[in-house]
């Protein structure tokens, strides 16, 4: 295989195909191929550098050329990028290809700016343990954040309004702990009521039950495992990765200087096809901006709300409220409405915080431009005055 012109390869025979390279990425990358740059997918990021898997193997590259001031444009695991060809020292990531989807954390404890945790995700696998009592509200919360995964190209509350790319899937883990098949199908049905239109799949990493179905679903793209600590994510990841896990995770790679290094990757190729992203940030999911996600998870509530007399109806005690009418008629479970209200309130707090941050940023930007303008004037006066 000729490695000197990777762009000449069709997507199906491309060395990056196992990493998710397709005709779409090929087309996005075309202008950079013309500049002699290498395509690659980011498998790990740390301190201003990243590991990028390319047709020439994994290379290390600096990320400082990609707008580091914008937290939403910071190179992230899962990104497709263009890097300098062999012989460049140091190598740089020259561009970030437009993201199809991104998981963005809106808030951290100190700052309210968005933080991109993983990008170009096709499947959001929400892991729910059957070892403990089902908490449908929590499942709805995870669904909302999965469905609000955005492109990360705009502030989170804006991008969340766009259509999401990642497909959610609820996996009920530790199915071996449910003794009878009837009980299991009852639990699946229960979860299905909280996740209309979302596949619900019972699996056991212990016995392997249901793993083949899950493997087939995730074979078609890039997946992340979401869910509470203890939900069985690591066990599931190991089960999906099979015995290859160490071999895949700790490959010997060549760094930017041609040295062999041992690295830990956060993006792994599954033996049955597909890619799994597992970053520390994704594991400790805190508060997320999930407004559009909430709307999608509670589509029936939003549909009812459109028929309320007042368009800003709070579905509290307003006259002509279609949501309360459905509640009275028994068409809408009380629990669903409570869950919906709770998530909307939580989300409004996050959006308000984000707005405050944006206003502060615009003010800063304006001040900086003012200062630059004055400096330019001073230079002009010095030269011409
Ligand atoms: P994580 O925190 O979401 O990564 O969860 P882990 O994968 O570490 O699993 C948490 C606990 O659940 C561990 O004690 C596992 O042994 C157990 N566990 C995970 N998967 C299964 C399963 O399929 N069946 C049973 N019985 N236990 C499991
Ligand atoms: Zn109403």
Alpha helix locations (H) across the chain?
A: 23-34, 136-147, 156-159, 181-194, 211-218, 233-241, 245-249, 280-283, 291-297, 299-305, 322-328, 334-384
- Residue 290 near residue 144 (C-beta atoms within 8 A): yes
- Inter-CA distances, 151 with 27, 75, 335, Å: 18, 13, 32
- CA 77-53-262 angle, 5° bins: 90
Identify whether 232 is part of a domain: yes
Asked which of 36, 68, 96 is the last residue of a domain, the reply is: 96
Give Cα 119 to chain centroid, integer Å.
Answer: 5
> Contacts from 109-114 at CB under 8 Å and sequence distance 24+?
109/286, 111/357, 112/350, 112/353, 112/354, 112/356, 112/357, 113/71, 113/354, 113/357, 114/71, 114/72, 114/152, 114/155, 114/156, 114/289, 114/354
Q: Ligand 1 atom 19: the closest Cα is on which residue?
A: 232
Burial class of residue 359, CB neighbours in 10 A (0-12, 13-18, 19+): exposed
pLDDT at 144: 77
* Number of alpha carbons in the 13 Å side-chain half-sphere of residue 318: 15
Residues 185 and 243 in one domain: yes
Distance 372 CA to ligand 1 centre (A): 56
Residues 330 and 370 in one domain: no
Identify whether 208 is part of a domain: yes
d(CA 182, CA 162): 40
> pLDDT tens track of the chain, all 385 residues?
444 444 445 555 789 999 999 999 999 999 999 999 999 999 998 878 899 999 999 999 998 777 656 666 788 999 999 999 988 888 999 999 999 888 776 544 444 456 678 899 999 999 999 998 888 888 887 887 777 655 444 444 333 323 346 888 999 999 999 989 999 999 999 999 888 889 999 999 999 999 999 999 999 899 998 887 788 888 999 999 985 444 434 444 444 444 444 456 789 999 999 999 987 666 544 434 445 566 667 888 888 988 988 877 888 888 999 999 999 999 999 999 988 888 777 766 665 665 555 555 545 555 555 566 566 566 555 544 3
Identify whether 267 is part of a domain: yes
Residues 108 and 141 in one domain: yes
Distance 228 CA to ligand 1 centre (A): 11
Using left for φ > 0, alpha for ψ between -120 and 50, and beta otherwise, residue 176 falls in alpha
pLDDT at 30: 97
- Residue 256 near residue 60 (C-beta atoms within 8 A): yes
Determine the atom of ligand 1 nearest the C-alpha atom of 237. Answer: 7
Identify whether 1 is part of a domain: no
* Domain around 329: 298-354
Asked which of 96, 113, 128 is the last residue of a domain, the reply is: 96
- Inter-CA distances, 267 with 127, 223, 224, 234, 296, Å: 18, 10, 10, 14, 28
Residues 54 and 153 in one domain: no
Give Cα 269 to chain centroid, integer Å.
Answer: 17
Distance 291 CA to ligand 2 centre (A): 18
- Residue 124 near residue 149 (C-beta atoms within 8 A): yes
Residues 89 and 227 in one domain: no
Place of tokens 């707090």: 349
Q: Ligand 1 atom 15: the closest Cα is on which residue?
A: 232
Distance 302 CA to ligand 2 centre (A): 9
Identify whether 289 is part of a domain: no
pLDDT at 293: 64
Residues 130 and 172 in one domain: yes
Residues 221 and 368 in one domain: no
Count of structural domains, the chain: 4
Determine the atom of ligand 1 nearest the C-alpha atom of 127. Answer: 3
Residues 337 and 374 in one domain: no
Residues 25 and 79 in one domain: yes
Residues 76 and 108 in one domain: no
Closest ligand (CA of 226): 1
pLDDT at 281: 63
> Contacts from 135-139 at CB under 8 Å and sequence distance 24+?
136/190, 136/191, 136/193, 136/194, 136/335, 136/339, 137/335, 137/339, 137/342, 138/228, 139/170, 139/191, 139/194, 139/195
- The values of phi and psi at residue 298, to 5°, are -110, 45
Tell me, what DSSP letter sits at residue 332?
A: S
Residues 229 and 258 in one domain: yes
Identify whether 291 is part of a domain: no
- The values of phi and psi at residue 261, to 5°, are -135, 160
Domain of 27: which CATH number?
2.40.50.140
Residues 173 and 222 in one domain: yes
d(CA 91, CA 82): 11
Closest ligand (CA of 127): 1
The protein residues having their C-beta less than 5 angstroms from ligand 2 (an ion) are 308, 313, 315, 321, 323
Domain of 337: which CATH number?
1.10.40.50
Residue (of 338, 309, 331) closest to 322 by Cα position: 309
Asked which of 58, 73, 96 is the last residue of a domain, the reply is: 96
């Amino acid at each position: 295989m000729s490695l000197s012109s990777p762009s000449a390869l069709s997507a199906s025979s491309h060395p990056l195909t196992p990493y998710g390279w397709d005709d779409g990425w090929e087309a996005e990358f075309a202008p950079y191929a013309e500049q002699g740059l290498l395509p690659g997918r980011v498998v790990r990021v740390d301190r201003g550098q990243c590991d990028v898997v390319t047709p020439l193997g994994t290379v290390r590259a600096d990320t400082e050329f990609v707008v580091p001031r914008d937290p939403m444009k910071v190179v992230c695991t899962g990104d497709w990028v263009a890097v300098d060809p062999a012989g460049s020292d140091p190598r740089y990531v020259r561009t970030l290809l437009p993201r199809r989807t991104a998981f963005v954390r809106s808030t951290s404890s100190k700052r309210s700016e968005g933080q991109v945790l993983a990008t170009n995700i096709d499947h959001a696998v929400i892991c729910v343990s059957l070892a403990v009592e089902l908490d449908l509200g929590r499942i709805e919360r995870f669904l909302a954040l999965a469905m609000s995964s955005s492109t990360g190209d705009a502030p989170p509350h804006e991008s969340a309004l766009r259509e999401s790319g990642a497909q959610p899937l609820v996996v009920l883990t530790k199915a071996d702990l449910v003794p009878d098949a009837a009980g299991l199908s009852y639990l699946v049905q229960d979860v299905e009521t909280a996740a209309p239109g979302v596949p619900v799949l019972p699996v056991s990493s212990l016995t392997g039950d249901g793993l083949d179905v899950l493997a087939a679903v995730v074979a078609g793209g890039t997946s992340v495992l979401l869910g509470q600590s203890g939900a069985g994510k690591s066990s599931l990841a190991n089960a999906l990765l099979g015995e290859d896990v160490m071999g895949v995770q700790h490959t010997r790679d060549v760094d930017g200087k041609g040295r062999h290094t041992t690295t830990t990757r956060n993006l792994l190729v599954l033996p049955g096809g597909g890619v799994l992203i597992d970053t520390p940030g994704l594991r400790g999911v805190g508060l997320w901006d999930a407004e559009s996600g909430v709307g999608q998870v509670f589509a029936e509530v939003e549909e009812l709300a459109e028929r309320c007399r007042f368009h800003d109806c709070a579905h509290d005690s307003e006259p002509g409220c279609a949501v309360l009418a459905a509640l009275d008629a028994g068409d809408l479970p009380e629990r669903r409405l409570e869950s919906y209200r709770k998530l909307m309130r939580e989300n409004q707090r996050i959006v308000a915080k984000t707005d405050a941050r944006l206003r502060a940023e615009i003010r800063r930007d304006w001040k900086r431009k003012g200062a630059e303008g004055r400096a330019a004037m001073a230079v002009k006066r010095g030269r011409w005055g």
